[in-house]
Amino acid sequence: MITDKDVKYIASLARIHLSDEESALFTKNLEGILHYVGKLEKLDVSKVEPTSHVLPLKNVYREDVVKPSLPQQAALKIAVEKHNGAFKVPKVIE
Amino acid sequence: MKLNELTAHEILDLIKQKKTSSGEVCQAVLDQIERSDENVKAFVRLNDQASATAKEANGPVPIPIAIKDNICITDQEVTCSSRILKNFRPPYDATVIEKLKKSGAVILGHTNMDEFAFGSSTENSCYGPTHNPWKLDCVPGGSSGGSTAAVAANEAIWALGSDTGGSIRQPAAFCGVVGLKPTYGLVSRYGLIAFASSLDQIGPITKDVTDSALLLNIISGTDSRDSTSAPFTVPDYTKALVNEVKNIKIGIPMEYFIEGIDPEVKQLIVNAIEMLEKSGAIFEEVSLPHTEYAVATYYIIATAEASSNLARFDGVEYGLRCHPEKMRKNPLVDMYEETRAVGFGKEVKRRIMLGTYSLSSGYYDDYYLRGLKVRTLIKNDFDKVFENYDAIITPTAPTTAFKIGEKANDPLSMYLSDIYTISANLAGIPAISIPCGFSKDGLPVGLQIMAKPFNEEMLLRIAYSFEQSTDWHKRKVRL
């Protein structure tokens, strides 16, 4: 059972401000979808290994040499707000 | 026949014979966009350099191509059809774009999609819906619906899409074009804005199978900038275009022909199977016993990965930034929460919420971890069938294109339209959708072929053989 309080808590974890209307809608939607995915409980997976990735890839290393990378100015060109060569955000510490 | 109605291989032949030029071809495509895109709405933005690039094109493949709105092109706005990426102009090309530019391809612009590729109808877009060229009041499928509609409407010769749970194949089926999802790791994801990183693949959308092989030749290959790119030596896929299926063993999974499948779709798939059987292919019933769990597994894994990938859109660096009128928590957190509240559409919020829930403390084992384990079972089902069979054939989607708005308020029924395509992403295998007929009301139906990892050649060979004895792919929309 998903409550309005659960939905508000998840929204705060996901950093999304929800209106009361959205909160009510998602409570209903999540309840329905979780009920549907609940069918996975029918399977015994106690002896099954999880697959987070299909390819049997190991860590890929490259030579430790410096290569050209994105110049600071090119990266900052798309900044919403910038200051002294950095991305500017609202005040964090009072 | 008009130039924009031709396939790329036909155009390349004409250019070789000096009967046309890349500039003329591009102009024919741009004229078509001018004529019909007002009604189809496949493109969200056009590249104003297309015509100039086409006139100067000197690469071997100067073909006009449409790009899904989640693939980065240097200094061109790309938004995933979301408000949150408004004005985002990436300072780099995706690897596939770099490869296309080198081969001389002419980039026409970006095509509409479901926001962040979350959807199966191209209705969830901040630009509004795309319309199916075959029937304008129907959806083109999704999420790469802008790309498939552009090719079907002859507003592009080729297009690129991305496929996380069927987003190339299902809209290809709905629009009557060829859509291929490569094996996971065959095509670099560098520069593809991520949805679910363990499932996403970029792939070709074309008018026939020969073009699919040509475009796959250009975009595939290992890439040091994508750590999940497979160290695989790419063959020349056009060599697989052989009209011969004698003694090829193909499985028909009985779990795919159950309730919910439209009888007309079923009949056309049966006809296709009979046609291939006459050419010498051997068909047998097989079982993929965990099929009924695929949609649930997918919606746990894909939303979990998406909630993590989309955490980067927070208003800090680029795109949209919003502040609430009154302070709620503190200025920085308020900025994150308001930017995401205003920037994301309803379906994106819904999926981020679901993904965050299944990854959250207390639910991780019950949902996310269990999902990964069922993924193993689904993958094992395919491994077992491929021990004895060269390919698997199914419908691409259970129905033809539905009406715009029909499923808008029922997320679960929308999710179920991907029921036949999702498993290939979970198992990482290649799959293609090709046209195999039309319903009585004139909507296209797609046939899906799946094969072992890195055996795109088998898909192309079966698809090409089928295409040689049919002319569904030659039917044209006139808009």
CATH number for the domain that contains residue A5 = 1.10.20.60
> What 3-state DSSP class applies to B433?
strand
Q: Write down the catalytic residue from B143, B144, B423, B433.
A: B143
Q: For the purposes of burial, counting CB atoms within 10 Å of the CB of B197, is it exposed (0-12), middle (13-18) or buried (19 or more)?
A: middle
| Model confidence pLDDT, tens digit, residues B391-401 | 999 999 999 99
Mean pLDDT calculated for residue range B110-134? 97
- Exposure on the CB side of residue B232, measured as CA atoms within 13 A: 22
Provide the number of structural domains found in chain A.
Answer: 1
Alpha helix ranges (H) inside B88-239: 95-102, 145-152, 169-175, 209-219
How far is residue B225's CA from residue B7's CA, in Å, rounded to a whole number? 32
d(CA B99, CA B186): 14
Residues B406 and B400 sit within 8 Å (Cβ to Cβ):
no
pLDDT digits (tens, 9 = 90+) for B398-411: 999 999 999 988 87
**In-domain check, residue A13:** yes
Which helix (H) or strand (E) segment is B8 a member of? helix B8-16
Q: Give contacts of B92 with chain A, Cβ < 8 Å.
A: 70
CA distance to partner chain A, nearest, from residue B203 (Å): 18
Q: Is there a domain that residue A25 lies in?
A: yes
B136 three-state secondary structure: coil
Answer yes or no: CATH 3.90.1300.10 is held by domain B3-244+431-474: yes
Of the candidates A51, A81, A94, which has its C-beta nearest B372's C-beta? A51
* A1 reaches B (C-beta below 8 A): no
Categorize the per-residue pLDDT at B45 as very low, low, confident or very high, splitting at 50, 70 and 90: very high
Q: Which residue has the tokens 């069922």?
A: B374
**B167 tagged catalytic:** yes
Angle between helices B294-309 and A20-37 (to 10 degrees): 140
Which pLDDT tens digit goes with each residue over B74-116?
Answer: 999 999 999 999 999 999 999 999 999 999 999 999 999 999 9
Q: How confident is the model at residue A58 (pLDDT cuts 50, 70, 90)?
A: confident
In a domain, A14, yes or no: yes
Kindly determine whether residue B375 and residue A74, on different chains, have CB atoms separated by under 8 Å: no
B89 vs A contacts (CB less than 8 Å) = 77-78
Q: How far is A57 from chain B (nearest CA, A)?
A: 7
Nearest Cα to Cα of residue B394 among B450, B471, B438? B450
Read off the tokens for B361.
Answer: 């403390």
Confidence of residue B241 (pLDDT cuts 50, 70, 90): very high
Domain range annotation of chain B: 3-244+431-474
Bridge-based pairing state of the strands B178-181 and B282-286: unpaired
Q: Is residue A48 part of a domain?
A: no
Residue A21's domain comprises: 1-43
Closest CA to B429 of B194, B256, B228, B186: B186
* Contact assignment for B377 to A43 by CB distance below 8 Å: yes
The rounded distance, in Å, linking the Cα atoms of B148 and B137 is 16
The alpha carbon of residue B65 is apart from the nearest alpha carbon of chain A, in Å, by: 26
The answer as to whether A9 is a domain residue is yes
Q: Which pLDDT does position A77 carry in this prediction?
A: 93
Residue A92 lies in a domain: no
Closest by CA to B66, choosing from B118, B130, B19, is B130
**Residue B303 — very low, low, confident or very high, per pLDDT cuts 50/70/90?**
very high
Contact B90 A78 (CB under 8 A): yes
Whether A80 maps to a domain, the answer reads no
**Residue B82: active-site member:** no
Check if B379 is active-site.
no
Going by pLDDT thresholds of 50, 70 and 90, the confidence category of residue B287 is: very high
Check CB contact under 8 Å for B350 and A29: yes
Write down the pLDDT at residue B392. Answer: 98
- Distance from the A1 Cα atom to the nearest Cα atom in chain B, whole angstroms: 13
CB burial readout A29-53, b (16+ within 10 A) else e? bbeebbeebeebeeeebeebeebee
Cβ pair B309, A69 in contact under 8 A: no
- Read off the pLDDT of residues B184-209 as tens digits, 9 standing for 90 and up: 999 999 999 999 999 999 999 999 99
For residue B371, list chain A residues with Cβ-Cβ distance below 8 A.
37, 40
Q: Of A16, A40, A60, which has the smallest distance from its Cβ to B293's Cβ?
A: A40
Query: Nearest CB to B230: which of A15, A33, A55?
Result: A55
The one-letter amino acid code at B423 reads: S
Show residues of chain A in contact with B334, CB under 8 Å. 90
Q: What is the ipTM of this complex?
A: 0.95
Question: B349: which chain A residues are within 8 Å (Cβ-Cβ)?
Answer: 16, 18, 22, 26
User: What CA–CA distance (Å, rounded) separates B391 from B385?
Assistant: 9
Q: What is the Cα–Cα distance from B48 to B37, expressed in whole angstroms?
A: 16
> Are B341 and A16 a contacting pair at CB < 8 A?
yes
